[in-house]
Amino acid sequence: MELENFADEFGPEYVIEVYDKKVGLKGILVIDNRSLGPSKGGIRMTPTVDVSEVFRLARTMTWKNALAELPFGGAKAGIKASIEDIKNKERKKALIQAFSKALKPIVPKLYIAGPDVNTGEQEMQWFFEANGDWRACTGKPASVCMRLFGKSGEKCGIPHEFGSTGFGVAHASVIAADHIDLDIKGATIAIEGFGNVGTFASKYLSDFGAKIVAVGDSKGVIYNENGLDIEKLHDVKENTGSVVNYNPGKVLKNKEIFELTVDILIPGALPDVITKDNVNNVKAKIVVEAANIPMIPEMEEMLYKKGILVVPDFVANAGGVISSYAEYRGYNPKRMFELVEKKIKRNVKIVLDRARKDKIKPRDAALKIAQERIRGKITK
């Protein structure tokens, strides 16, 4: 994708490509928009990351931060790395720190990093240490926060095990169910992905009384129409490496999860999983996009015409960036959870009500609201 094909009134402001021959670093940073504050977005490490992908994700962060009413703009970063580099701790550290040092002139003034695909607490610690400023990124280990903000007897920091994104996705699902008069208690749910987002979304939804009937990971999908025991499923995943070893249940191919007859489908791992090849086979009443860009807008249009409610990614999965803001402010986990719940529930309802009122797709309604907020027209 050429720059002139995606530049518009909202951005991108900067597209930065970093190359460090000494360590073999090839990195990308797209700062899309800073109207509301310094740009915020995670760093992903994959063998295939490119400028087009990073821009799409940066633009999503622009909308996500605006919709969540956070004082951040949108950005995203990527490091092109082989599977071997990603698995090798020393190589990974060298790449992260070289990237951080290269971006030091603009971090954190213009850009604040965070975790994403194949990066987490450890990588964020490496990033901020190489930068020298604790504000360089969020997603740092709680021990770092304790040194900065900690009070006697109180935990702080927002490490990934708190599952703020999955927590937000669960609340988004509840609001979406209410919107179509579906009782979340007993509602059947299929979740693609059992990583940081899927595990917590399934836990909280199960706590709310929903019936999780299918969960997928990289090895396949486990399906039981009578419901899965989420605690048991988590243990099976921990002990065997995959949800497919859970019993009782039927093992399905990964792609089959998107075609199950369920009330709520949650794509929670990979991008572009609902395509022209399977969009007509989606049978769910609601699709809650826990993953970033799980389908292109044209696929959402097709689902909308079929009467399927789609909660867009930058609305549904904003719990992560909201908790990043909480960490940035030095909040404790209790206050973070309260903030995530309040903002997710409020904004999902605003978006779905606006979509119904204007007779448009939820994504179109969310975009309008985000753009209004960026332009200084805060929607009450």
Q: Which residues of 126-152 are buried (b: 16+ CB within 10 A; e: fewer)?
A: bbbbbbeebebbbbbebebbeeebbee
Mean pLDDT of 186-207: 96
Which residue is associated with the tokens 């009578």? 226
Distance CA 128, CA 105 (A): 13
CB 73 within 8 A of CB 40: yes
Report the pLDDT averaged over residues 7-23: 95
CATH architecture for residues 3-140: 3-Layer(aba) Sandwich (3.40)
Report pLDDT digits (tens) over 128-173.
Answer: 999 999 889 988 887 776 565 555 445 555 555 578 999 999 999 9
Average pLDDT of the chain is 92
pLDDT of residue 196: 83
Q: Which residue has the higher pLDDT, 125 or 150?
A: 125
Strands 43-46 and 73-80: parallel
Neighbours of 20 (CB within 10 A): 15
Split at pLDDT 50, 70, 90, the class of 328 is: confident
Nearest alpha carbon to residue 244 among 218, 263, 212: 218
Confidence of residue 379 (pLDDT cuts 50, 70, 90): very low
Q: β-pairing, 39-40 with 188-192?
A: unpaired
Whether the predicted pLDDT of 205 surpasses 90? yes
Q: DSSP assignment, residue 213?
A: E
Q: How far is 28 from 244, CA to CA, in rounded Å? A: 36
The amino acid at 252: L
- Cis omega before residue 108 (within 30°)? yes
Q: What is the pLDDT of residue 151?
A: 54
CATH H superfamily, domain 164-319+348-370? NAD(P)-binding Rossmann-like Domain (3.40.50.720)
Instruction: Report pLDDT for 377.
Output: 45
Report the pLDDT averaged over residues 60-68.
93
- Domain assignments of the chain as residue spans, ordered by start: 3-140, 164-319+348-370
Q: Is the pLDDT of residue 29 over 80?
A: yes
ω into residue 248 within 30 of 0, thus cis?
yes
pLDDT at 146: 57
Query: Any idea which of 32-36, 241-245, 375-379 has the lowest mean pLDDT?
Result: 375-379
Confidence category of residue 240, pLDDT binned at 50, 70, 90? very high
Asked if pLDDT for residue 215 goes beyond 50, the answer is: yes
Contact between residue 126 and residue 97 where contact means Cβ atoms under 8 Å apart: yes
Residue closest to 60 by CA, chosen among 6, 99, 135 = 6
Does the active-site annotation cover 101? no
pLDDT at 4: 56
More confident residue, 43 or 270: 43
**Token digits for 224?**
């039981």
- Lowest-pLDDT range of 9-13, 42-46, 147-151, 249-253: 147-151
Residue 372 to residues 40, 56, 62, 181, 319, Cα–Cα distance (Å): 19, 20, 12, 29, 21
DSSP 255-322: GGGGGS--SEEEE-S-SS-S-TTTGGG---SEEE--SSSSS-HHHHHHHHHTT-EEE-HHHHTTHHHH
What pLDDT shows up at residue 162?
73
* 154 or 248, higher pLDDT: 248
Please list the residues that pair with 310 across neighbouring strands: 287
pLDDT score for 333:
82
Q: What is the rounded average pLDDT of the residues 319-341? A: 88
Q: Give mean pLDDT, residues 200-208.
A: 97
- Of 40, 64, 76, 343, which one is the catalytic site residue? 76
Q: Which amino acid is at 306?
A: K
Say what the pLDDT of residue 123 is.
Answer: 96
Q: Say yes or no to pLDDT of 86 above 70.
A: yes
Residue type, 28: I
